[in-house]
Amino acid sequence: METYNEYTQIITPTEALFEYCQNEELQKCLESEKIIYIEGAFVLKTPHTVYNNDGKFMLTEYARENLRSCALSFGIQLTYKTEKLFGKKDTFGRGKIEKHKCFDLSETKRQIEASNLTKEIKQGWLAEVDEFVFHEMQDQTCWKMIGKKLAEKHANPNDFTEKTLLPERYYYRAKNDEHEQAPGIRTIMAIAAGYSFDLPFTKKLLELAGYSFSRANPEHVAYKFILKFMSGSTLFEKNELLKRSGFKPLGIDES
């Protein structure tokens, strides 16, 4: 069983290389010239975070004291593994817990959003982080991007139907049918709300499917609210709020 029980911004070069080799999202982030590795952390390279000390970059005191606000975040992934006994087929001995540090873009953004940075700096840094994720999205399809995000969350058919209240076939469309006709806005919202996708990512999914939120549409405004302020809630809880406010609940099969 794999869980995340804590986060860190400190990662060794060995750990970073291991994660880099298997995490495309981290690869895209580190392709940016605006990210620099200093003192065990990948930080956004700005005058607030780094300075040049005789040709060598160093973290500023501000960055050391506010590392969560200016560095990429990594989740501590705990994996329980059993050791296979020598010479005995399918027989396992005692197990052990292994730790891995896994890049988490959502946590990176949450730390920036929750920081005490000035509004100007915060908005600028969030824009930089969003650029890491979305600069290649013009070559993607909506289903393909949903499928990739579901894979990152280790989703399976049962998990998908429980969280989104949609039938399994939508899971397989996201997993396999990247060239399938784009999903409708309510399908996208059911998946986004069920898995607590953040608002910028959901907006990009809508854009890929040919939609956008309209300020003139009260239902769209409600969708934005539940994405932004109810990220830790289940779709059942979000639907309860929608129904009490006069909106249709999400998760209805569009066929």
Same domain, 114 and 172: no
Contacts of 105 (CB under 8 A, 6+ apart): 25, 29, 72, 129, 132, 133
Closest CA to 199 of 227, 238, 164, 232: 227
d(CA 42, CA 67): 10
Distance (Å, whole) CA 189 – CA 203: 10
Q: Report helix, strand or coil for 219.
A: helix
- Asked whether the beta carbons of 8 and 108 are under 8 A apart, the reply is no
Same domain, 124 and 16: yes
Residue 243, helix vs strand vs coil: helix
pTM given for the model? 0.52
Residues 168 and 88 in one domain: no
pLDDT of residue 254: 47
What is the count of structural domains for the chain?
Answer: 2
Range of the domain at 114: 2-134
Indicate the residue among 134, 159, 178 that finishes a domain: 134
Among residues 134, 160, 183, the one where a domain terminates is 134
Q: Look at residue 249 and tell me if it is in a domain.
A: no
Q: Find out whether 31 and 121 touch, Cβ atoms under 8 Å.
A: no
φ, ψ of residue 108 in degrees (nearest 5): -60, -45
Q: Which residues pair with 78 in a beta bridge?
A: 3, 99
* Residue 227 covered by a domain: yes
Which parts of the chain register pLDDT below 70? 1-5, 79-97, 133-139, 177-179, 253-255
175 and 115 in a common domain: no
